[in-house]
């Protein structure tokens, strides 16, 4: 995955804590990171670990990117 704003290199627990909507996006695609007790995966690796296929991975990446762009535009950063 190629996620914006450096979130791809962050641990999934940190990403979901800071951006609960990303957890909702993952749950919508049956990726249960929100309830995972381990939580050490990097955000970039989370989707590929679940082997959902390229089309679904691309869709998830687009949803997360769109959300992040909206957040950063709202917070005054350029998108």
Q: What is the pLDDT of residue 79?
A: 42
Single out the residue of 27, 28, 19 nearest to residue 65, CA to CA: 19
* Comparison of pLDDT for 1 and 54, the residue scoring more: 54
Q: What is the mean pLDDT of residues 20-45?
A: 84
Query: What rounded mean pLDDT belongs to the chain?
Result: 85
Contacts of 11 (CB under 8 A, 6+ apart): 39, 40, 41, 42, 43
pLDDT reading at 7 higher than 60: yes
Q: What is the mean pLDDT of residues 12-30?
A: 92
Q: What is the pLDDT of residue 41?
A: 86
Q: Are 18 and 24 in contact (CB under 8 A)?
A: no
CA gap 14, 24 in Å, rounded: 14
Domains of the chain: 4-74 (1.10.3910)
CA gap 39, 71 in Å, rounded: 23
């Amino acid at each position: 995955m190629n996620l914006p704003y450096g979130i791809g290199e962050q641990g999934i627990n940190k990403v979901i804590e800071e951006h609960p909507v990303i957890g909702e996006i993952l749950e919508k695609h049956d990726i249960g990171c929100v309830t995972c007790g381990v939580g050490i995966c990097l955000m970039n690796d989370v989707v590929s670990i679940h082997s959902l296929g390229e089309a679904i991975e691309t869709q998830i990446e687009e949803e997360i990117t769109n959300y992040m762009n909206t957040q950063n535009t709202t917070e005054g950063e350029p998108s």
